[in-house]
Chains A and B, each alone.
Chain A
């Protein structure tokens, strides 16, 4: 699953050279120390340079990078005592969207998120993090449980979209997502949503109606994939880069548009290169918002959420 991004070439070349030199050094065939130090500084500068000028289409590729941390990584890195809860009590258990009780620092939460895999086998089992209706219905069941136990809900969004399949349609993919949007709008506990990788359309929003919506710096969030948009509006999938540009799907654009509340910064080089640093930053940002939301009364919390989503959009009157 090694996949090299074209625009990362200058970084990757330096990384490879450094790896070789360090290997030599570790085997006692030394004499490279000063060269290593120089190259490390150079690498640092190149990473910053490459990541300073990243295009929306390149961001799409980072957001989908096979080494980008997935929900399971975050569960290991920043949560403790995860008690997974299975099933929607109607049809089955979706492996593409999971949830359960978890601790984030000293905060007890209900954690719900899309569940991409790290390799082909995992991804087949987890359907590449694309949920069927039973996933959204499980999510809603867990949110209602959170309401009963007075726990805040934390959702992690990372999906290409809700699964487009015959069975998913039969079991009411549309109704399941619409129901979640309706119920999340009035859920009586705080909801913090974090877009960690791909925020793919209704499948993302189906667990994304948050009092606070956060986004990792190189994540994307869009009404349609750039490929899908290019196919329809340019009638040619090869215009994906143009579509990515036009759709304004990066964290910076979404902050401008008022759709997200805060960007969680990633080190230059991205979360796929610095998973632990990214996770640590995320942990502190999420905790900060949980504490703030925890101070609001239920009435105030629900009124704020209603106002927040009522204000979404731009039109002329």
Chain B
């Protein structure tokens, strides 16, 4: 059964659109599987997703229940093996529930910023001339501000909160995608296959959407996975500064922020969420590197 499924997937002459597409994905997966570091990255991210989805199963305590009798217990204490924070809440359980918030932010940013960037980049690259100049100057203006400062300013205007934090991050994250997409579009724009569809009477919208974007997508996806680490850090940074997620939600950045006060005596309160951020960032980076080898059209030619 599985044998014939594999055969069906790697059939060089697929008999339907769906089979062709699945076959391509299957080959990409096989290529990715060969890259051990990327698989490690993928494992970390899958684990993060599982943790978020089944948080009640993973967590040992309620993340919000305070127990002042047990505050600031060190790691290794029976029942609280990552220790407790200054309100006596179990750090492990908070990290597990925090994964939900992190994933929520990451997912929202991942579906908004790249789309804006792709749209602006491909339109600018395809039309060139004045359109390009105007769009790219706007991009430059956004790029000229340090991201965190811009996000801070936006949150200051919009007011703190998780949705506003996401909005601020997305609005500051799109310019690099626009640049990547534009660069890719410039190389694709003059290719023969674009000339060929133009010759068949296709309009600009159709060419950009159906022919240019698929070529930009891989580089943007790679960029997105590589940037996710940065997004988590900015979200954490906003939380740390009290402008993102509000207490008592167990957001990782917020947890570091509250642990800062006793960093020297009770190091684990800030360190444990820090390690979580580190591990997840690493996971996204490793996966992004692996995807580059798999998705990059230049390496997929064979």
Do these two chains interact? no
Give residues in A with beta carbon < 8 Å to B: none
Give residues in B with beta carbon < 8 Å to A: none
